[in-house]
Amino acid sequence: MLRAGKPHVAPFVGPAWYVAAAWLAGALAVQATVVHYLAVRGVVPSCVLVVVVWYAIRVDARRAAVYGLVAGLYEDALSAGTGAAWMIATTLSALLASRLSRGFFADSIPLASAIVVLATLFRALLFWTVMALSGYPPGLGTLHFRESLLQSALNAVVIVAAMLVARRFDVSPR
């Protein structure tokens, strides 16, 4: 029964906080230590962004933004000289992913891969815009656009592989 003056709040259906935190910690560890061995033409997939998109397509915009903010803060802490560029770019990319996924199934592989491609390009645009505003040469973003395109394809491969593995080991009743 709805009470007057109280808005209806849908129940939380995303992953538990400790599962999402574990995935983010794992993605950060892999990003900082192992993923450089997977470089294609000097470009590596962003495991952190893939995990952020995975979470964002399952939760509401507020939770997605907080998760993206935390992920971006950790990325900025691990990177030298980025200021708050990763934090801003990852937070807004999480919001975009959350917004794009409304009304769709969160386990749709084509949807998740399309959203991760768009989020990767959007994040790169935001990152280099923030970096240019903080004094880096504005041409660096244009120079790295080709790398962003390749990274978006690599991120799509990573999320497809992760979703297929997750489906293989899914133990929920059907």
Q: What is the per-residue pLDDT across 148-160, written as a single tens digit (0 to 9) for each?
A: 999 999 999 999 9
- Contact between 97 and 106 (Cβ < 8 Å): no
- Of the candidate ranges 45-59, 92-106, 124-138, 159-173, the one whose mean pLDDT is the lowest: 159-173
In the numeric block, the tokens 């397509």 are attached to 57
Phi, psi of 122 (to 5 degrees): -65, -40
Q: How far apart are CA 102 and CA 112, in angstroms?
A: 12
Distances (CA, A) of 163 to 54, 68, 99, 113: 9, 20, 20, 10
Q: What is the pLDDT of residues 94-145, one digit of tens each?
A: 999 999 988 777 788 999 999 999 999 999 999 988 998 888 877 777 778 8
Domains of the chain, residue spans? 47-167
Examine the pLDDT at 3 and tell me if it is beyond 80: no
Give the predicted TM-score (pTM) of the model.
0.87
Q: How far apart are CA 47 and CA 29, in angstroms?
A: 9
Examine the pLDDT at 71 and tell me if it is beyond 80: yes
* Cα-trace Rg, the chain: 17
- Contact between 59 and 12 (Cβ < 8 Å): yes
Band of residue 172 on the pLDDT scale cut at 50, 70, 90: low
- Of the candidate ranges 67-71, 73-77, 78-82, the one whose mean pLDDT is the lowest: 78-82
Question: ∠ CA 110-24-39 to the nearest 5 degrees?
Answer: 65
